[in-house]
Structure 1
């Protein structure tokens, strides 16, 4: 093998290794501290985001009546947690409702337990939840179902926020990315990259 071939192979190997060390999500550059969240969980415990330092926290904003995006994202997060094996303990999923009117604590708790009992659900008053959404730049709008005066859906932003073990916002993953991308990013963040 010629020197130029060896050099080309070394360059490709270095580029591949560098790509493997990059997050698959869009990144916050530079990283910044995640806005603090203090709220009651769907299980009735006090929640403070900063108490989860040392773990990778993935925030998802959604609602229990969501027919497609939210359950798909939660299923992917469940798969990712399972694929992480023993490293799954380094991941904490927090689901923040955008529909506190319907998402009571018992309803939210039961919904999340269908996916993974370790997932934490946050609900509260409309004002409390609007404050959290605003801090994270999440939009949520009520859309009335045609022909109904009471039924509605919620249009909302569909991203996963990745918060590193130091409590910094590091990545924003759009809806529909595979569980392997979540595993990749959680692994890198848990290792301090």
Structure 2
């Protein structure tokens, strides 16, 4: 794998958060699919849209195999990232993307389970969020298999997804 591998794989911590598709988002719901999970916010100027664009390119490169891949974008900015905001934002990246929102406490608990940090930078309405920018790769059995740092290209994701799909 091109991602940093979890060796041995371990169960991905599950959670239940309101989803941008109108349902509860849980990892159990996506058993049988490869899940690419990342944390960010819709007002992000560079890292988040770059990451999501890369994941969109990877899904396109997978062709029919893309149906076996689900992208989950967990917000780190519950004050601004409403369900409608996330739905509209993620629609740009194509099918197979769902956002997870929630209360500050619920989101902090999910971040803690994954070792994700996030902090507000600046004041006023134009603040930014500094946050962990890795992408977690979760296999069809719901196990953490890899963590890809920001900056990898779509080919790296395609490689790792195809490895997991062959299992």
Where does residue 169 of structure 1 map in the other structure?
144
**Highest relative contact order (Cα 8 Å, sep 6+), 1 or 2?**
2
Where does residue 116 of structure 1 map in the other structure?
94
Counterpart contact for 2:67–2:96, Cα < 8 Å: no
Counterpart contact for 1:77–1:182, Cα < 8 Å: yes
Q: 3-state DSSP class of the match of 1:84?
A: helix
Higher Cα Rg, which structure:
1
Give ranges in structure 1 of 5+ residues lacking alignment.
1-22
The two structures have a TM-score, normalised by structure 1, of: 0.84
Measured against aligned partners, the alpha-carbon deviations of 1:144-185 in whole angstroms (never above 9, x if no partner) come to 1xxx54431100001000000111000000001010000000
Pairwise CA distance, 1:117: 3.0
Q: Distance in 1 between matches of 2:100 and 2:44?
A: 16
Pairwise CA distance, 1:46: 1.7
Runs of 4+ in 1 over 6 A off after TM superposition: none
Give ranges in structure 2 of 5+ residues lacking alignment.
none
CA RMSD of aligned residues (A): 0.9
Where does residue 12 of structure 1 map in the other structure?
none
The two structures have a TM-score, normalised by structure 2, of: 0.97
Where does residue 10 of structure 1 map in the other structure?
none
